[in-house]
Amino acid sequence: MTFPPLREDLVGLAPYGAPQLDVPVQLNVNENPYPPSPEVVADIAASVAAVAGSLNRYPDREFGELRAALADYLNRDGGVGITPRQVWAANGSNEVMLHLLQAFGGPGRTAVSFAPTYSMYPEYARDTTTRWVEGRRESDFSLDLDRARELVERERPTVVLLPSPNNPTGTALPLDAVSALCEAAGDGLVVVDEAYAEFRRSGTPSALELLPSTRNLVVSRTMSKAFAFAGARLGYLAAAPEICDAVRVVRLPYHLSAVTQAAALAALRHADELLARVQELRSERDATAAWLAAQGLEVAQSDANFVLFGRYSDRHAVWQGLLDHGVLIREVGPSGWLRVSIGTAEEMGAFRHALTALGTPVR
């Protein structure tokens, strides 16, 4: 054994993460470009100040007030009668989903997703020693339902991870696909990761609608994207109460700090204002997709706050060329494709200008 005595399967692996570079136009990690307004900042600061005097005590381990506020919010965005006992939260939806794999994955168990899919999923599986099986999406990034169902029935996973809208492609799943996979999974859980749900196009439903009739469905959400709250780290899920209770077994005690709870409650009081920019970002997304298509590029249909486009014979050269113009996007997804997050109108102007200046040939 070498020192430090790292698990053999982790030797040589690099920690996950996009480059954090200090450039003028940052369109690489699907953040919301709009910072909270001075009123929201003042309310968050006052709420944090109010708990600061009791930081010698541990926070509410069950975060009851926050669960109630999140349930209220979900019931305004597609949820039907969701109660606080049906809500769980953690430090980002990454931690929420890690909790799910800790509770429902593990040695001898299998987790399934369909590539291209969110690149953290195999890491949750690896870290919890869960077997990882990846099916494939079609060339338009949709799911072939028969093949997907077949895979789930064959592999009998305890957790199926379905990002919708998907990262990095932006593709949303129809609800009949979610229902069919919930049925195919039997007693296994189907996690619909709706990190980008608020950006979905009108007419695209949320899987929250299926919760009352589907006992093995988990819908994961985050305040990082639409709420413009990535720095605070607050992700959450809605599911049957027994699923939330089971997750409580694996969470670390007091995992959500009093500061996090206070800040998130303050932000939820301003949900309408924080979400007001979502509409603008959706329009900017559609305009960006249309512009990219008009350049002769392939563009994946997006219900999220980013667009996947290509295909380039040397995508790294395009990524680097944009960076040289001060525009940071993400080299991610299937070979030849690049992903741009939707920023302000000004930032998207800078992106279009830089891409035009490159004039890079498409494959």
| In the block, residue with structure tokens 């007030």 | 65
Is 193 a residue that touches ligand PMP (CB under 6 A)?
A: yes
Closest separation between CB of residue 163 and ligand PMP, Å?
4
Binding-site member from 23, 115, 175, 230 for ligand PMP (CB under 6 A) = 230
For residues 307 and 299, is the Cβ–Cβ distance under 8 A? yes
Is 171 a residue that touches ligand PMP (CB under 6 A)?
A: no
Closest separation between CB of residue 2 and ligand PMP, Å?
32
Binding-site member from 32, 93, 102, 214 for ligand PMP (CB under 6 A) = 93
Q: Phi and psi (nearest 5°) for 144? A: -80, 110
Q: Is the Cα torsion angle 141, 146, 147, 148 positive or negative in sign? A: positive
Q: Under rule CB under 6 A, how many of the chain's residues touch ligand PMP?
A: 13
Binding-site member from 27, 152, 195, 308 for ligand PMP (CB under 6 A) = 195
Binding-site member from 88, 114, 118, 199 for ligand PMP (CB under 6 A) = 118
Residues between 278 and 317 with contacts to ligand PMP, criterion CB under 6 A = none
Question: Which of residues 98 and 185 has its CB atom nearest to ligand PMP in the complex?
Answer: 98
Closest separation between CB of residue 361 and ligand PMP, Å?
30
Q: Which of 351, 349, 350 is nearest to 339 (CA)?
A: 351
Binding-site member from 36, 79, 105, 163 for ligand PMP (CB under 6 A) = 163
Candidate ranges 88-96, 172-180, 279-287, 295-303; the one touching ligand PMP (CB under 6 A): 88-96
Q: Kindly write down the DSSP assignment for every residue of 179-198, as one continuous string.
A: HHHHHHTTTSEEEEE-TTGG
3-state secondary structure of 28: coil
193 pairs with which residues across the strands?
163, 220
Closest separation between CB of residue 57 and ligand PMP, Å?
27
Binding-site member from 32, 128, 169, 224 for ligand PMP (CB under 6 A) = 224
The residue number whose beta carbon is nearest to ligand PMP equals 92
Question: Which of residues 112 and 354 has its CB atom nearest to ligand PMP in the complex?
Answer: 112
For residues 29 and 330, is the Cβ–Cβ distance under 8 A? yes
Residue 295's contacts (CB-CB under 8 Å, 6 or more residues apart) are: 355, 356
Q: Which of 220, 252, 305 is nearest to 102 (CA)?
A: 252
Rounded CA-CA distance 345/356 in Å is: 16
Residue 109's contacts (CB-CB under 8 Å, 6 or more residues apart) are: 130, 131, 157, 158, 159
3-state secondary structure of 142: coil
Question: Which of residues 97 and 265 has its CB atom nearest to ligand PMP in the complex?
Answer: 97
Rounded CA-CA distance 231/199 in Å is: 19
x/- letters, 30..49, toward ligand PMP (CB under 6 A): x-------------------
Is 26 a residue that touches ligand PMP (CB under 6 A)?
A: no
Question: Which of residues 110 and 220 has its CB atom nearest to ligand PMP in the complex?
Answer: 220
Radius of gyration of the chain (CA): 21
**Which residues in this chain contact ligand PMP in the complex, by CB under 6 A?**
30, 92-94, 118, 163, 167, 193, 195, 222, 224, 230, 235
